[in-house]
A and B are shown apart, each in its own frame.
Chain A
Amino acid sequence: GAVVSQHPSWVICKSGTSVKIECRSLDFQATTMFWYRQFPKQSLMLMATSNEGSKATYEQGVEKDKFLINHASLTLSTLTVTSAHPEDSSFYICSARTQTTGSLNTGELFFGEGSRLTVL
């Protein structure tokens, strides 16, 4: 199956610094990638949809200037948490969708390993 790799898997940073998380599709081209945030004992919350070559589409309540998303190529999307604060500590997961032949409306998601961010 398709492989999505996320890096780093965990990161600890000081309050006020910025952290970049990378999401790569290793053996397929992903025109669309999704960034999720998962709180303990809660579901995955969609933060934004990242489209290659265009601006990301953010969900309501997600700060665009706080969570910068760049999808510069068909195999790489990055999430940068700017001026991180302790409340940004969370588990961030990316996923990519393959496109089945002849249809843009179906396709399972392939997930990265997730990145656990701890802001001190």
Chain B
Amino acid sequence: AQSVSQHNHHVILSEAASLELGCNYSYGGTVNLFWYVQYPGQHLQLLLKYFSGDPLVKGIKGFEAEFIKSKFSFNLRKPSVQWSDTAEYFCAVYNSGTYKYIFGTGTRLKVLA
């Protein structure tokens, strides 16, 4: 069965620290990959997405993610986090064959001012 794994459930960083959140998926076919973010009290919203082309994707607020097909990974990175990045981050895979999205369990990030 298709699945998405996020290895870090809770991450605590100080401001200006670098961030990398892991995401691995299990599916051999064509996938579209997403990172969604949920700020406290707000909707889930799109951070960035990968459909094809350059495997290094840049998103909003200085975030980027790299798709490594051989590793089935789509890790999220940010060189210098801010207090306002405190949120929960979800990796998601869209299977265009089944028209379904599968979400990871989420990573709760807390940035200390």
Chain A residues at the B interface, C-beta cutoff of 8 Å: 1, 4, 32, 34, 36, 41-44, 46, 49, 93, 95, 105-106, 108-109, 111-114
Q: Taking A105-B96, A108-B49 as contacts, is the C-beta distance between A43 and B104 under 8 angstroms?
A: yes
* Contact B49 A43, beta carbon cutoff 8 Å: no
Q: Does B44 make an interface contact (CB < 8 A)?
A: yes
Residue total for B at the interface (Cβ-Cβ under 8 A): 24
User: Which secondary structure dominates where chain B touches chain A?
Assistant: strand
* Contact A108 B43, beta carbon cutoff 8 Å: no
- 24 A-B pairs, CB-CB below 8 angstroms? A1-B45, A1-B46, A32-B99, A36-B103, A43-B4, A43-B90, A43-B105, A43-B106, A46-B100, A46-B101, A46-B102, A93-B44, A95-B44, A105-B99, A106-B51, A108-B49, A109-B34, A109-B44, A109-B46, A109-B101, A111-B36, A111-B44, A112-B43, A113-B42
* Contact A43 B9, beta carbon cutoff 8 Å: no
Q: Does B80 make an interface contact (CB < 8 A)?
A: no
